[in-house]
Amino acid sequence: MNVFVTGAGGFVGRALLAKLIHAGHRVTALLLEGESAEGIEPAAKLIRGDITRAASLQGIIDDHDAVVHLAGAVGYGQQWSRCVEVNVEGTRNIAQEAARAGARRFIHMSSVSVYGRLPEVALTEDAALIKTDDPYGDTKIDAEEIVQRVGEGGALQWTILRPTVIYGAGDDKFLPKLVENLRSGRARIIGSGAASVDLVHVDDVVAFIEVLLSDERSHGEVLNLADPNTCSWQELLGVVADELGVPRPSKRLPYHAALVVAGAMELMAKVTGRPPRLTRYAVRVVGRQYRYVATRARELGFSSSVSLERGIVGVMRSGSLG
C-alpha cells in the first residue's frame, strides 16, 4: 500500500514510518519546510508542505492509497489561533485533498481529550464530546467532525483514533518533563497518587495503525486506545525515581491546591517566557481517575505488548528521550 503520513517528523510519525516500511508499505513523509529529517526512516519518500496552506498540498497525495493524519498542535502553551489553524483548518485541507486525490483510506489521530477530562465515568467511544475552553481538546472535536463531514458518501473510508497520552522512544513531552521534576527534588504526589496512569506505548499505537490500513471493519469507526495493564501515578513516580537514582517523592499536594499552584506557575511563565514546571492540564491528567474503555479497539486487534514499567525503564535506559 502507498501511504501518505502527515506529522511524520514527530516521535509517533517517525515510529510509524519505520513500522510501515518494515511491513512492506511504500511511504511518503510530509515535513514542513526547514523541518529536520533526522531520525526519519531512509526508505521513506520526503515531501515538503504545510497542512495549513492548502496550496502546498495540491497534487502531493496523488497515487496514494491511504493517509495517516498525525500532524497537530499539541503541548503546553498552544494558542487558540494556532490550534484552529493546524487542528481544524489543517485537518480540513488534508482531508479534502485526500478525497480529491482518491486516497480514500484515512486514519485520523485524535485524543481522549475530546471527552473533556470527565473523571470516574466509563468513557466509551459513544460518550459525549465536551468542550472545556481548552484549545487542544476543543479543536480536536472540530477536527473529528470535519473528517466525518468530508468523508460523507464514501469520499473517505475514515477511522478516528482517540489515544491516551502516547509515550516511548523519542517522546519529547511527557517523560522528559517527569524526569526533570523528579531530578529537581521538588516533585509532589498530586492528590492521593492512586489514580491510574493513562499512557499507551508508541509501538502498540503504530502496530495497530498498520493493521487498520487494510481492515475494512474499522471503516467509519471511532476507537479509544488505552492500556488496561497500568499502574498508579505513585507507583510510576517510584519506578522513574528508582531508575534515576533519586529519592521517591513523598510529599503530597491536594488536587485543588495543585490547580491553584499550577495556575500561578502558568501566569509566571507568561512573564518569564519559560515553561511552567506544573500546568493545570498536567494536574487534571494526574490528579483524577479516568476510565477510558478500549473494547472496540481490542476487538480489532489492538493489544498492549509493552508493560508500562518495562516501557518507561526501556526508554530511560536507551537514552532515546526526545
The CATH code of the domain that includes 135 is: 3.40.50.720
Cell of 321: 528521550
Instruction: With H, G, I as helix, E, B as strand and everything else as coil, classify residue 27.
Output: strand
* Residue 282 included in any domain: no
Over the stretch 222-278, which tens digit does the pLDDT of each residue have? 999 999 888 899 999 999 999 999 999 999 999 999 999 999 998 998 888 888 888
Q: Provide, rounded to the nearest whole percent, the portion of the chain with pLDDT above 90.
A: 75
* Residue 286 included in any domain: no
* Residue 300 included in any domain: no
Q: Is the pLDDT of residue 24 over 60?
A: yes
Model confidence band, residue 77 (pLDDT cutoffs 50, 70, 90): low
Task: Provide the pLDDT for residue 32.
Answer: 94
Task: Please say whether the beta carbons of 113 and 136 come within 8 A.
Answer: yes
Q: How many domains does the chain have?
A: 1
Task: Please say whether the beta carbons of 210 and 277 come within 8 A.
Answer: no
CA atoms of 292 and 18, how far apart (whole Å): 28
Q: How many CA atoms lie within 13 A of 57 on its CB side?
A: 24
Partners of 165 in the β-ladder: 199
At 211, the amino acid letter reads V
Task: Please say whether the beta carbons of 110 and 136 come within 8 A.
Answer: no
CA atoms of 36 and 266, how far apart (whole Å): 30
Q: Is the pLDDT of residue 322 over 60?
A: no
For 59, the domain range is 2-170+197-227
Task: Supply the DSSP symbol for 88.
Answer: I
Model confidence band, residue 76 (pLDDT cutoffs 50, 70, 90): low
* Residue 22 included in any domain: yes
* Residue 244 included in any domain: no
CA atoms of 268 and 271, how far apart (whole Å): 5
Q: Is the pLDDT of residue 16 over 90?
A: yes
* Residue 46 included in any domain: yes
DSSP string, 89-107: IIHHHHHHHHHHHT--EEE
CA atoms of 164 and 123, how far apart (whole Å): 12
Mean pLDDT along residues 15-21: 97
Backbone angles phi, psi at 67, to 5 degrees: -125, 135
Over the stretch 87-111, which tens digit does the pLDDT of each residue have? 999 999 999 999 999 999 999 999 9
Task: Provide the pLDDT for residue 289.
Answer: 93
Partners of 191 in the β-ladder: none
CA atoms of 43 and 28, how far apart (whole Å): 9
Least confident among 80-94, 183-197, 203-217, 303-317: 303-317
Model confidence band, residue 68 (pLDDT cutoffs 50, 70, 90): very high
Mean pLDDT along residues 28-32: 97
* Residue 119 included in any domain: yes
* Residue 26 included in any domain: yes
Backbone angles phi, psi at 138, to 5 degrees: -65, -40
Task: Provide the pLDDT for residue 320.
Answer: 63
Least confident among 181-185, 285-289, 300-304, 306-310: 306-310
Instruction: With H, G, I as helix, E, B as strand and everything else as coil, classify residue 200.
Output: strand
